[in-house]
Chain A
């Protein structure tokens, strides 16, 4: 990190269908709460992706914007350089699929991805829509993952990544796991404001970029989490 934390939001003009701005705003709020000056850079698909960002965000979108986004990112190369340099990243839904080797286009045709994550995705039989809850990989020491998914993707994880979590409720990758993690990249099917429902995940990304963090007041985050988890898990919560 240089003088301020730089959050790079990739292609809000193509991939921000499901409140993806939320992840950027939550990171900004939680960094500022720790006294860290923060700036969000909106990078449109006609602009080059800056290579010096600290945390990169890419969101969800429809089939065609997803294909366009993947093409432009492949050509641009800025994101690949930033990741090679050690930047952190949260990739959501369509953006998550783009990070892999391949994903399914609007007719199910294979479309090449960026190969930043060892995953491959295709179109499933039916749409997974609804609340999701999952137990996060214990090595990450995070509380239960909660959020909303809406996708038709099935994602197979290769040996180069670990599942982010095991689903309790919901579909996720389609094999009982949800999302993945490799180095400082997190991929997930949970919609845009995933970090609003999982502030500890936001703090994990921030700590990768700026080091250990003091706690902050989580009242509203916690109340929303408690309500959602008890609505979804009932007595299991």
Chain B
């Protein structure tokens, strides 16, 4: 770190200058441009910045940013931590995060699923944490079975210690070529992408079905080959996590919902690989209240709006689980580049759970969502803008679910102070 070669030191410094300029001119948080400048001057910068640190990479379809935050918060117990807290999860963002904390002995990087093989090759990270894989922005993202296959190839023959959710068959398959895996039973809420065996294509028998007897709802096994769920070392059990020594830890997170308890289970297993015991990690996990605006409550004109991000069908399922069924709800959907320009995924979400709640629909693709709700038989009110939706609502608490750019637009309305 402090021993960076001169060229890398210069590249790192110029990158930070570019980041500062970007922030000063109001163009962004600077984490992408800074990294790009650094990589242009020294293509090997990421490798050099990663050397001599204890580094964890975190990847999944959903929960990357939150889990990265949970791990980073816990690791601060051990010392300074470099992390890409702004969700800039490609190599430029990684360079920026690492050069921003040059002397930090620990690092946690959120990594885009597609970039995981490249970033693992470059950084030689010692720890890789993998949570879930599901359909997401198919117009520009890789097909997920191919993605898992690339993970397998990238992990084979490397010394990395993988922490993986064994309740997700595709993640299990993607992780199982690693030299060492700690399996975490973190649950799987969205199952529509894992009815078939990733190894042979045969049908997967899932827990609760006749074939599985009483082995619990998370168990799975292929009916045609030997591929099956590994025995977990860590288990998320309701509000608790059970560690490999059989100790039971009550999570008591401030972040809501089962998905975040699952993220916390992965975080506890990950920091354990850093040598940090749950007894010291948990109090720090409990300090995390919102991550990049997610789960934050904002106030407007006597209304308290809680902001939930949902980028894909699995994410909507998680958001519905967190959402309070007694409250009115605003749904906002866009289809800009980062959202995926194809709105087909709306038809994969089961909106019938909203029946009986006042539903307000907005966002740039509100008509796609309106028809979707109409076909589901869910009454709704169409609003031309977020403001109009808020104004139409009674005073009090309201839940808001939005996809990526719709969420950012709402955050911007509140000055990103959330």
Contact = CB atoms under 8 A, between A and B. Distances in A.
Given A26-B375, A46-B203, A150-B342, A223 B347 contact: no
Contacts of B138: 17-18, 150
B146 interface: yes
Interface in A14-47: 14, 16-22, 25-26, 29, 44-46
Interface string B220-238: 0001000000000000000
Contacts of B195: 12-14, 44
B120 to A, nearest CB: 23
Given A21-B348, A64-B201, A150-B138, A16 B342 contact: no
A175 interface: no
Contacts of A131: 341
Contacts of A19: 344-348
A130 B341 contact: yes
A226 to B, nearest CB: 9
Contact of A224 (B223, B341, B368): B368
Contact of A129 (B139, B343, B372): B139
A4 interface: no
B135 interface: yes
B140 A196 contact: no
Given A13-B195, A14-B196, A19-B344, A45 B140 contact: no
Contacts of B370: 220, 223-224
B201 A68 contact: yes
A11 to B, nearest CB: 9
Interface string A67-81: 010000000000000
A16 B195 CA distance: 11
Contacts of A65: 145, 196, 201
Nearest to B223: A46
A56 interface: no
Band of interface residues on A: 35 or more
Interface residues of B, number: 31
B376 interface: yes
A100 interface: no
Contact of A223 (B367, B372, B376): B367
A191 B376 contact: no
Nearest to A219: B374
B203 A45 contact: yes
A227 B347 contact: no
A148 B372 CA distance: 16
A167 to B, nearest CB: 17
Contacts of B367: 220, 223-224, 227
Interface string B340-377: 01111111100000000000000000011011101110
A221 B374 CA distance: 9
A196 B347 contact: yes
A25 B138 CA distance: 21
Q: Which of B344, B347, B368 has the most CB of A within 10 A?
A: B344
A115 B375 CA distance: 33
Most buried by A among B145, B345, B374, B375: B375
A179 interface: no
A192 interface: yes
Contacts of B347: 19-22, 25, 192-193, 196
Nearest to B195: A13
Contacts of B384: none
Interface in B123-175: 135, 138-140, 143-146
Contacts of A62: 143-146
A236 to B, nearest CB: 20
Interface in B308-361: 341-348
Given A18-B138, A19-B347, A13 B203 contact: yes
B192 interface: yes
A16 B348 CA distance: 9
Nearest to A30: B375
A196 B375 CA distance: 9
Contact of B139 (A22, A46, A150, A227): A150
B196 A68 contact: yes
Given A18-B344, A25-B375, 19 more contacts: A18-B345, A19-B346, A19-B348, A20-B347, A21-B347, A44-B203, A45-B196, A46-B203, A62-B143, A64-B201, A65-B145, A68-B196, A68-B201, A129-B139, A131-B341, A193-B346, A196-B372, A196-B375, A224-B370
Interface of A: 12-14, 16-22, 25-26, 29, 44-46, 62-65, 68, 129-131, 148, 150, 191-193, 196, 220-221, 223-224, 227
Closest 10 CB pairs of A and B: A22-B347, A19-B344, A19-B347, A13-B195, A46-B203, A62-B143, A220-B371, A18-B344, A220-B374, A224-B367
Interface of B: 135, 138-140, 143-146, 192, 195-196, 201-203, 223, 341-348, 367-368, 370-372, 374-376
28 contacts: A14-B195, A16-B348, A17-B135, A17-B143, A18-B342, A18-B344, A19-B344, A19-B346, A20-B347, A21-B347, A22-B344, A22-B346, A22-B372, A22-B375, A26-B375, A46-B202, A62-B145, A64-B145, A65-B196, A68-B201, A129-B139, A129-B140, A150-B342, A191-B344, A192-B344, A193-B344, A220-B371, A224-B368
